[in-house]
Structure 1
Amino acid sequence: MRELFEGALKFQEDDYSKYKDLYESLKKHQEPHTLFITCVDSRVVPSIITNALPGDLFVVRNMGNIIPPYRENDNMMRAGYLATTASIEYALNILEIKNIIICGHSNCGACSAAYASEEKLQNAPYVKKWIELLDPVKKKVKALCPSTKAKELWLTEQINIEHQLENLMTYPFVEERFDRGEINIYGWYYIIETGEIFNYNMITREFKPINKEKKQ
């Protein structure tokens, strides 16, 4: 914890002054341009991998960057998946955000846990319940018959992004804005060890690297 306290002091003494005017402008309101939905993994830092400034991103994080499929309010409340849904609703209906990015990543613990045994998850009942939302992803991966565990995880991570994009489109207020061309939606796959980010093309259903030559 000492490092975090020292980091807080460094921020106040050095880093804050660099963006003092920006922070003061954000005192009473926020106008983020992008809803960034990603994993809680400590190795994924949205502001760093996007080079974003304070106030740019409205970030939603959960295990596995999962978006529960839309349901009517009473059913959703019983399911216990309100936090992510409420954040998406707030971002679009209150903040009127124009871009949505769903960002998955390599070596994802949630995607790996989806294949864990009952015994391994016996002390993590809430984790077990949450990753049941990955069952449709697992089914798609199993149908591809991956030859190794490494390939199975790699496919799961990427198909999970595709699946969460599909889940996102089940939200009426998302679909309506997208159909009217009022929002842009992207799926990203971040490789931790190389820093590469691959963007998902929803027409060709392929992940292509983001680079200077061809920004997508």
Structure 2
Amino acid sequence: MTRRGWEAARPYVLVPLILGLLLLLAGRRSGWLGVLAAGGMLAFFRDPEREIDRLPDVLYAAADGLVREVDEVYDPAMPGGRATRISTFLSLHNVHVNRSPVGGTVEEIEEIGGGYYPALFKRSEENRRNRIEISGSRGPVVVIQKAGLIARRISTWVEAGERVESGGKLGLIHLGSRTDVLFPAGTAEPLVGPGDKIRAGLTPLARYEEPR
């Protein structure tokens, strides 16, 4: 586990671990439940190293999980406001570290308030979220980290003005939710569809079309 991963995981690990140890010292076998819960939290906040390919005409997955939908939405950062959006659902067993789909410069990070609906509900569109706008060589790309029902927290590890590599770590969503990747409509062909399993930094999400 990395230092940043441990900083995010610490309260989730130490509380059940300490309670479990206290119960065990008091002769209560139920303390093992706390120890097991702490181990589960450590596994959840894992941050494995990955060999990242960096093909310049490919956008890579920003999250591990299951593609929920591929659609067109409005986004003010996109030319004409038209964006292709690829949404990924992160379950509790997925790695929750988000990675940049492209190399570029972080132009803006915006924290947007909202609710905490389960990621599979339509109203999760309105959940609390962080919007990270990246200026890539082929145009803007936006990554939206959405908080979920349980922990309701997002850790962002980059700042505006920072240079990121394709597959570079952007942050972490605590205990499951959803990550959206947006890019200008008509500039790249999606390579995944609903139901596909993807891995951050490894799975090609879309391929840019050749300029006409």
Q: Same fold (TM over 0.5)?
A: no
Q: Which has more strand, going by share of residues?
A: 2
Query: Which has a greater percent of helix?
Result: 1
